[in-house]
Each structure stands twice: as structure tokens, then as C-alpha cells.
Chains A and B, each alone.
Chain A
């Protein structure tokens, strides 16, 4: 069945450091891939998405590229800020309503 594996956290970085959060997936067909972010005390909100191979999703300085050959969708940001501290979820859908979420990666950015 479909699944999403993302790196365990927490990830602790200093402000302006480079961020990578790894995400790999297993899916039949041609899934759409997502990164959601959960700020403290809030629900999840869509950060970026990619719906086909080689697409790059981007938002708020974050980027992720849909790599079909490596079944990956790693999240990157060149210079993190304290305000980026949150939990990040990788997720996929594959032709249906149903989301498969990764377990989440907590990011803490220190000033």
C-alpha cells in the first residue's frame, strides 16, 4: 500500500541555517505530493505541493521537487527563521480522496 516516510525530529537549527527535511514515498500510480505545516496551537495548513514528476513546489522560501526516480519530495529552505519553528508533515494522495501522512518532523529554530 501507499506510505510516506519522513525523517524523525526534532531538528534544531540556528537562524539563517540551511534546512532539509527528507521525505520518501511508496505509491501506486501517480501520486500528488504535499508538505503541510503545523504551527504551535494550530491546525495543519498547506505549505506547498507538486502534482507530477519533476514539478517543484515553492512557498515562503521553502521548496520541494517531486523526484519520481528516487521517490522523494525533500523539503528545503536556504535560510530558516525563528518563525519557521513548527511541525512539518509530508503527505500524498494517489487518485483518491485519501491522504497518507508522514509522522511529522518538528523543527526548532534558535535565534
Chain B
């Protein structure tokens, strides 16, 4: 079984709809992250969480919110989706104890907003 899972894998929605992307991990890591990937822009950090009570904005948090329901679960919400949020979204985790903070990525969710 995959260590980091994301649901759904693909989603098509309309402008103005509320969307939730979910991430679960079995690695026992404290740190979780949400990124979006756009062609030519690499990965950009949306939000990150170092434990259940800790939520922090990344570089592109506008239009997004997150919830850390448990150590193993970290959800990303788009309250009112817009077309420029069409992208590939990745969840990642890392272990608090490692110096170089290697991150482990889920398979991604491809979101299309029409």
C-alpha cells in the first residue's frame, strides 16, 4: 500500500463550487504539506502543518484553506473554485527528526475548474 494517498486522483468541477482534496499517510510523519504544480513553474507551497494544532500559510495560500484532522490526515479546500486553480496538487510528508527534511509525495490530484 502507498504511504501517502490522495483522493480523488482526478476531478473536474465548475467555477464557484467548493472542492475538498484529501490526503492520508501511514508513514507516521508529523509534517504535512500541500503543493500545486503548474507547467513551467515547478511546485509551489500552499499550506503546511507541523502537527495537528499547527497550520501555516505557504507562498500561495489565497483562495485555499486546510484542515489537519489527525496526524495522518490533511485536507485542502477550495471554497469557491476558479479556473486559474486548475493544476496538479500534491500532498507531501516529512519526518520531524531528519536534518535534511526529505519529503515523501502522494501521487497527485489533477483538478480542472471549468
Residues of chain A having any CB pair with chain B under 8 Å: 32, 34, 36, 41-46, 49, 51, 89, 93, 96-99, 101-104
B45 at the binding interface (Cβ < 8 Å): yes
Which of B40, B42, B48, B100 sits near A93, CB closer than 8 Å?
B100
Verify B94–A97 contact, CB threshold 8 A: yes
B12 at the binding interface (Cβ < 8 Å): no
Verify A43–B42 contact, CB threshold 8 A: no
Extra pairs beyond A32-B100, A46-B102, A97-B31 (7, CB < 8 Å) = A43-B105, A43-B107, A44-B103, A97-B50, A99-B45, A101-B44, A102-B42
B43 at the binding interface (Cβ < 8 Å): yes
B99 at the binding interface (Cβ < 8 Å): yes
A32 to B103, CA, bound (A): 13
Count how many pairs of residues, one from A and one from B, have CB atoms less than 8 Å apart in the complex.
Answer: 53
Verify B103–A99 contact, CB threshold 8 A: yes
Verify A41–B107 contact, CB threshold 8 A: yes
Q: Knowing A97-B48, A97-B50 are in contact, say whether A103-B40 is a contact too (CB < 8 A).
A: yes
Tell me the B30-55 residues at the A interface (CB within 8 Å): 31, 40-45, 48, 50
B59 to chain A, nearest CB (A): 9
Which of A49, A101, A102 sits near B100, CB closer than 8 Å?
A49
B111 to chain A, nearest CB (A): 15
B101 to chain A, nearest CB (A): 5
B15 to chain A, nearest CB (A): 27
B99 to chain A, nearest CB (A): 7
Q: Knowing A89-B42, A101-B43, A103-B42 are in contact, say whether A43-B102 is a contact too (CB < 8 A).
A: no
From A45, which residue of chain B is reached at the shortest CB distance? Answer: B105
Verify B45–A98 contact, CB threshold 8 A: yes
